Amino acid sequence: MTQVTQEAAAASQPFVMDTVFWTATTIFVLAYAVIVSEKVHKTVVALFGAALMLVLKILEQYEAFHVEELGVDWNVIFLLIGMMTIINLMRPTGFFEYIAIKSAKAGKGDPMRIMTIFALVTAVLSALLDNVTTVLLLAPVTLLIADALEVDPVPFLIVEALASNIGGTATLIGDPPNIMIASKAKLDFMDFIYNLTPVVIVLMVVLLVVVKIVFGKKLKTREELKERIMQMNEKEAIKDPLMLKKSLFVLGLVLVGFVFHGTLHLQPATVALFGAGLLLLLSGTHDPHHYLAEVEWPTIFFFIGLFILVGGVVKVGLIKLMSMKMLDLTQGNLFATSMIVMWFSAIASAIVDNIPYVATMNPLIIDMAKQMWPQEAGLALLRHPDLMPVWWSLALGACLGGNGSPIGASANVIVVGMAERAGKKISFMRFVAYGFPIMLLTVFISMIYVWLRYYVLKF
């Protein structure tokens, strides 16, 4: 009897607020504060914080590198590395420039049409590749086209950033938060297609209507300037047709792999690594250093550092404590939890980096689920039907929230940076003036979607 009581006590009080707890919490809070302050590069902070967690033995190195629950999620890391390598090999072929010039010509040089087509292309590419690459490659062409048409490039650039964040929400590989959620909650590519893509299609339509209303009248150009666009020959953009064919072949294979990875029981990272390995092999490169060096290593190490930091506070019980507070707040009402997660994620992601945010939320949600359904474990817990809407709310909130401010998502930061270098400064407020209303609108629509689909129609 006493034993049972003790066990019950241990279950209800799963952590002790000892020195280790406070040390880990301090490292975690300090690291996040320094990341937000941007005084030190976020990768450096995350790495040093992680090293402290290891050196102070809050987390053993074995746990950090080999234990899925506490350490680095290698599935996320290698999915990112694999996709980045594929894109690095693909970039010099001129594929993206080709698509962009082709799109501008498809728009017949008409600014409003071009803006619409660019937004769609950005959304689709962002869903299949990463947002940063998409924007990084389309924005220069956008600036060129705006110069050719003698129109202000800023609306184009902002719309592309917004479209990229919306499009990225649609798939497992579209945005880092989705990759992280998928890996942690063991969701597959088709789950995302089935649950998120429908709402993202609606959101894109709404974005395009809003864009049309806001810019439809303002964007005009002269006929002779349109001629400049029509004279461009997109075929000249292709620098390496053979490599382009190889890249598209591998990319096709990888996408097919993603579609079937759930059925085939392959992890997403396996698919991406296979694609990267195959494309490296097909490229016949004798100098892989370049392609590997071009991987966004600061981002990768930021992830690695964050996983270890979060692992530390998971181990000492801070995340469990937070999940209990959250349960107290929502009193176990999952609809309320969903909505809180979505709106809080949106606002948080608009202001701070959504990667550390999602890295913290993932274990928090799992801890919450454990308390609600203590008898469940593994997949039955992670994919509990009542829990699913919470995952989708997190994904929608964290991804769409990025539109709220110029620092909300990497795509925004890139667009603003590029505009500034081109002499077209986009002030913080100007971006917010477009981005924030769009964010509110899209999150609002997502809220209705989640409510309708999972709590009213329940399918």
Partner 1 sequence: MKAKDVMEPITETLSPETTLKEAVNRMKVARRGEGWTGVKGMIVLDDGKLAGIVSIKDILRAIIPSYMRLTELGEFTWDGMLEEMTKKVAGKKVGEVMTRDVITVSEDAPLMECADLMVKHSLQRLPVLDKDKRVVGMVYIRDLYQAIVQALLDKEGE
Partner 2 sequence: MTNEAAAATQPFVMNASFWTATVIFLLAYALIVSEKVHKTVVALFGAALMLVLKILEQKEAFHVEEFGVDWNVIFLLISMMVIINLMKPTGFFEYIAIKSAKLGKGEPMRIMTIFALVTAVLSALLDNVTTVLLLAPVTLLIADALEVDPVPFLIAEALASNIGGTATLIGDPPNIMIASKAKLDFISFIYNLTPAIIVIMAAFLFVLKLIFGKRLRVKPELRQRILEMDEREAIKDPLMLKKSLFVLAIVITGFVLHGMLGYEPATVALFGAGLLLLLSGTHEPHHVLAEVEWPTIFFFMGLFIIIGGVVKVGLIKWMSIEVLALTHGNMFATSMLIMWFSAFASAFVDNIPYVATMNPLIIDMANQIWPHLQGIKLLHNPELMPLWWSLALGACLGGNGTAIGASANVIVVGLAERAGRKITFIRFMAYGMPVMILTVLLSTVYVWLRYYVLKI
Binding positions for partner 2, rule: CB under 8 A: 40-41, 43-45, 47-48, 50-52, 54-55, 57, 61-62, 65-68, 74-75, 78, 265-267, 269-271, 273-274, 276-278, 280-281, 284-289, 292-298, 301
| Part of the chain binding partner 1 (CB under 8 A), chosen from 96-104, 287-295, 359-367, 398-406 | 96-104
Residue 418 interacting with partner 1 (CB under 8 A): yes
**What CA–CA distance (Å, rounded) separates 454 from 149?**
46
What one-letter code names the amino acid at 435?
G
Count Cβ atoms below 10 Å from residue 378 Cβ, excluding itself: 8
What one-letter code names the amino acid at 419?
A
- At closest approach, how far in Å is the CB of 297 from partner 2? 4
Q: Which of positions 257-276 make contact with partner 1 (CB under 8 A)? A: none
Residue from 334, 365, 341, 363 nearest 443 by CA: 341
Asked if residue 120 lies in contact with residue 162, where contact means CB atoms within 8 angstroms, the answer is no
Partner from partner 2, partner 1, none contacting 47, C-beta within 5 to 8 A by type? partner 2
Asked if residue 167 lies in contact with residue 122, where contact means CB atoms within 8 angstroms, the answer is yes
Residue 382 interacting with partner 1 (CB under 8 A): no
Residue 233 interacting with partner 1 (CB under 8 A): yes
Q: Which is nearer to partner 2, 41 or 425 (CB)?
A: 41
Residue 143 interacting with partner 1 (CB under 8 A): yes
Structure tokens, 331: 């009193």
Residues 6+ apart with CB under 8 A from 259: 189, 190, 193
Query: Is residue 65 exposed (0-12), middle (13-18) or buried (19+ Cβ within 10 Å)?
Result: middle
Angle at 450 between CA 212 and CA 349, to 5 degrees: 70
- In this chain, which of 151, 199, 211, 237 binds partner 1, going by CB under 8 A? 237
Q: Which is nearer to partner 1, 87 or 237 (CB)?
A: 237
Partner from partner 2, partner 1, none contacting 62, C-beta within 5 to 8 A by type? partner 2
Residue 114 interacting with partner 1 (CB under 8 A): no
| Part of the chain binding partner 1 (CB under 8 A), chosen from 59-67, 245-253, 283-291, 418-426 | 418-426
- At closest approach, how far in Å is the CB of 293 from partner 2? 4
Q: Which is nearer to partner 2, 280 or 441 (CB)?
A: 280
Asked if residue 79 lies in contact with residue 254, where contact means CB atoms within 8 angstroms, the answer is no
Partner from partner 1, partner 2, none contacting 74, C-beta within 5 to 8 A by type? partner 2
- At closest approach, how far in Å is the CB of 222 from partner 1? 14
Partner from partner 1, partner 2, none contacting 159, C-beta within 5 to 8 A by type? none
| Part of the chain binding partner 1 (CB under 8 A), chosen from 139-147, 206-214, 287-295, 330-338 | 139-147
- At closest approach, how far in Å is the CB of 422 from partner 1? 5
- In this chain, which of 49, 71, 82, 94 binds partner 1, going by CB under 8 A? 94
Residue from 125, 102, 283 nearest 204 by CA: 125
**What CA–CA distance (Å, rounded) separates 143 from 96?**
14
**What CA–CA distance (Å, rounded) separates 352 from 437?**
18
Q: Which is nearer to partner 2, 289 or 458 (CB)?
A: 289
Partner from partner 2, partner 1, none contacting 101, C-beta within 5 to 8 A by type? partner 1
Partner from partner 1, partner 2, none contacting 409, C-beta within 5 to 8 A by type? none
Partner from partner 2, partner 1, none contacting 139, C-beta within 5 to 8 A by type? partner 1
Q: Which is nearer to partner 1, 149 or 324 (CB)?
A: 149
Residue 453 interacting with partner 1 (CB under 8 A): no
* Count, residues in the chain: 459
Cα→Cα distances 12→314, 357, 360, 365, 377, Å: 16, 26, 21, 17, 17
Asked if residue 39 lies in contact with residue 291, where contact means CB atoms within 8 angstroms, the answer is no
Residue 422 interacting with partner 1 (CB under 8 A): yes
Residue 140 interacting with partner 1 (CB under 8 A): yes
Partner from partner 1, partner 2, none contacting 281, C-beta within 5 to 8 A by type? partner 2
Residue 136 interacting with partner 1 (CB under 8 A): yes
Partner from partner 2, partner 1, none contacting 236, C-beta within 5 to 8 A by type? partner 1
Alpha helices in 169-222 (DSSP H): 176-185, 189-195, 197-215
Residue 236 interacting with partner 1 (CB under 8 A): yes
Residue from 249, 254, 128 nearest 193 by CA: 128
**What CA–CA distance (Å, rounded) separates 67 from 295?**
25
Binding residues for partner 1, how many (CB under 8 A)? 24
Residue 228 interacting with partner 1 (CB under 8 A): yes
**What CA–CA distance (Å, rounded) separates 34 from 364?**
22
**Can you say how many angstroms the Cα of residue 128 is from the centroid of all Cα atoms in its chain?**
12
Residues 6+ apart with CB under 8 A from 12: none
- At closest approach, how far in Å is the CB of 75 from partner 2? 7
Q: Which is nearer to partner 1, 240 or 376 (CB)?
A: 240
The one-character DSSP state at 171 is S
**What CA–CA distance (Å, rounded) separates 436 from 442?**
10
Stated as kind and residue range, the H or E segment containing 33 is: helix 19-37
